[in-house]
């Protein structure tokens, strides 16, 4: 089976069986793309997630486009995107025809009450794996904590937080680069050879 067709069916299955969409699909995407198909290494996968979530647009579609293009170029990106959006569009159209009529039914309300905690778990599980993959330590934990506080408590747009993180990372990388350059220059600078001291100089130093 050609790669574009594999990508289509892989993301079609993910789109059809993922409740909550978006970040809730991360677990299934990781399992299919990293563990089963071996299309993308684990480290690159989480770097991809960091890039995708900072881009405008729908998270699921951006993820499918990135993976598809990474695996099979433009045709793979198009196939993965179709596979990701066709199930959700079909299900939404079917639900829209009956949801208005049955949304106030007690059974429907109970179903959604049961689904919501599952969606939270589906989002939390890949988030914990992302923390582990990012190698967050006690020293660097201030970065995600500050990000959460800025977005949730201070009501700052995530776009501004992402731009600030990019600027901070560039400044930090520039500082490290300059320090490394200065260190290499110090190592390459030849030291002047020491002139051996005469006996008279040694005698004067001993007397003093």
pLDDT at 14 > cutoff 80: yes
pLDDT at 126 > cutoff 80: no
Q: Where are the domains of the chain?
A: 1-135, 137-188
Nearest to 84 by CA among 7, 5, 15: 15
pLDDT in tens, 29-84: 888 898 888 899 888 888 888 788 777 778 888 889 999 999 988 999 999 999 98
pLDDT at 192 > cutoff 70: no
User: Which has the higher per-residue pLDDT, 189 or 105?
Assistant: 105
Q: Tokens 């937080």: give the residue.
A: 161
pLDDT of residue 121: 75
**Residues making up the chain, counted from first to last:** 208
13 vs 170: CA distance, rounded Å: 39
Could you give the angle at the alpha carbon of 54 between the alpha carbons of 53 and 60, nearest 5°? Answer: 30
73 vs 193: CA distance, rounded Å: 60
Q: According to the 3-state scheme, what is the secondary structure of the chain?
A: CCHHHHHHHHHHHHHHHCCCCHHHHHHHHHHHHHHHCCCCCHHHHHHHHHHHHCCCCCHHHHHHHHHHHHHHHHHHHHHHHHHHHHHHHHHHHHHHHHHHHHCCCHHHHHHHHHHHHHHHHHHHHHHHHHHHHCCCCCCCCHHHHHHHHHHHHCCCCHHHHHHHHHHHHHHHHHHHHHHHHHHHHHHHCCCCCCCCCCHHHHHHHHHC
C-alpha distances (whole Å) from 52 to each of 23, 74, 87, 155, 162 are: 11, 17, 21, 22, 12
pLDDT at 12 > cutoff 90: yes
174: its two tokens: 């520039």
pLDDT of residue 10: 92
Q: Classify each residue of 150-184 as buried b or exposed e, where b means 16 or more C-beta atoms within 10 Å of its C-beta.
A: beeeeeeeeeebeeeeeeeeeeeeeeeeeeeeeee
User: Could you tell me how far CA 129 lies from the centroid of its own chain?
Assistant: 11
80 vs 8: CA distance, rounded Å: 5
Lowest mean pLDDT: which of 91-105, 154-168, 186-200? 186-200
- Give the chain's mean pLDDT: 80
């Amino acid at each position: 089976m050609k790669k574009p067709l594999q990508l289509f069916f892989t993301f079609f299955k993910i789109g059809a069986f993922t409740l909550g969409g978006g970040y809730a699909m991360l677990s299934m995407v990781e399992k299919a793309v990293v563990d089963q198909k071996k299309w993308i290494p684990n480290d690159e996968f989480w770097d991809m997630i960091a890039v995708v979530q900072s881009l405008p647009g729908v998270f699921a579609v951006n993820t499918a486009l990135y993976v598809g293009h990474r695996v099979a170029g433009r045709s793979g990106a198009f196939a993965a995107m179709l596979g990701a959006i066709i199930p959700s569009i079909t299900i939404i159209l079917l639900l829209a025809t009956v949801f208005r009529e049955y949304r106030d039914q007690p059974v429907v309300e109970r179903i959604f009450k049961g689904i919501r905690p599952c969606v939270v778990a589906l989002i939390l599980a890949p988030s914990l794996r992302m923390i582990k993959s990012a190698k967050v330590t006690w020293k660097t934990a201030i970065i995600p904590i500050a990000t959460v506080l800025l977005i949730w408590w201070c009501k700052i747009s995530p776009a501004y937080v992402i731009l600030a993180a990019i600027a901070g990372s560039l400044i930090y990388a520039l500082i490290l680069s300059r320090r490394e350059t200065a260190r290499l220059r110090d190592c390459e600078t030849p030291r002047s050879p020491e002139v051996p001291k005469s006996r008279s100089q040694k005698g004067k130093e001993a007397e003093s």
